[in-house]
Amino acid sequence: MANYLTVNYFTYGELLVQNISGSSAPEIANANNVKYFIAAYEPEFLEKLLGEDLYVAFSAGMAVLVPEPKWTALRDKIFQADAVAGTYISPAANYVYYHIVAKRHRMAAAMVDNNSMSNSASPIYVDDKLDLALVWASMYKMCTVIWEWIEENIETYTDFDPYQEDPFAWFNSIGI
């Protein structure tokens, strides 16, 4: 399945990833890194959001040349993109951004450990941890809106299980 997120989702606002929209070698490398995270985490997010059965149906429904309106409506509910206005909003972008920042923290912590520095010298800043929490909370709020919309349209999305365990509750999620 093709990814719906692009680097455009990470060029402004709370999900800003620096230096991904130019043509220099470092900017291209940074953009490719974001694309890697999109490819790795967008499908995982969608399966968690939709549940396994609806995710499979959605993926199959979007894989055809002309998807049914119910699948494009679901896609557009999850991935809001307005190229003219330059706004790109999706809980999937928040999920991917969370993993980008968490990975940066793990790499920074490993560098600290490799340099035999004390844990008190860890470069994982309070502001970054707060950023992760805010990005996760924003994602969770958007997911709730999507779940409510799917439940309102449950006759269309019969593969959705409204009683599934909440995969995004903080205590069920992975940490940094």
Task: State yes or no: pLDDT of 78 exceeds 70.
Answer: yes
Task: State yes or no: pLDDT of 48 exceeds 80.
Answer: yes
Q: Give the percent of the chain with pLDDT over 70.
A: 82
Residue 68, domain member (yes or no): yes
Residue 76, domain member (yes or no): yes
Residue 106: its pLDDT value, please? 56
Structural domains of the chain, count = 1
Residue 56, domain member (yes or no): yes
Dihedral of alpha carbons 156, 136, 104, 48, sign: negative
Higher-pLDDT residue of 149 and 116 is: 149
Q: How far apart are CA 142 and CA 85, in angstroms?
A: 20
Task: State yes or no: pLDDT of 6 exceeds 90.
Answer: yes
User: 3-state DSSP call for residue 103?
Assistant: helix
How open is the CA angle 96-101-106, to the nearest 5 degrees? Answer: 120
Residue 117: its pLDDT value, please? 46
Task: State yes or no: pLDDT of 59 exceeds 90.
Answer: yes
Residue 1, domain member (yes or no): no
Residue 105: its pLDDT value, please? 58
pLDDT band at 74, cuts 50/70/90? Answer: very high
Higher-pLDDT residue of 140 and 123 is: 140
Residue 114: its pLDDT value, please? 47
Higher-pLDDT residue of 59 and 116 is: 59
Give residue 144's identity as a one-letter amino acid code: T
Q: How far apart are CA 142 and CA 44, in angstroms?
A: 16
Residue 2, domain member (yes or no): no
Give 93-139 pLDDT, tens digit per residue. 999 999 998 887 554 444 444 444 444 444 445 456 778 888 999 99
Residue 120: its pLDDT value, please? 45
Q: Which domain holds residue 19?
A: 7-172
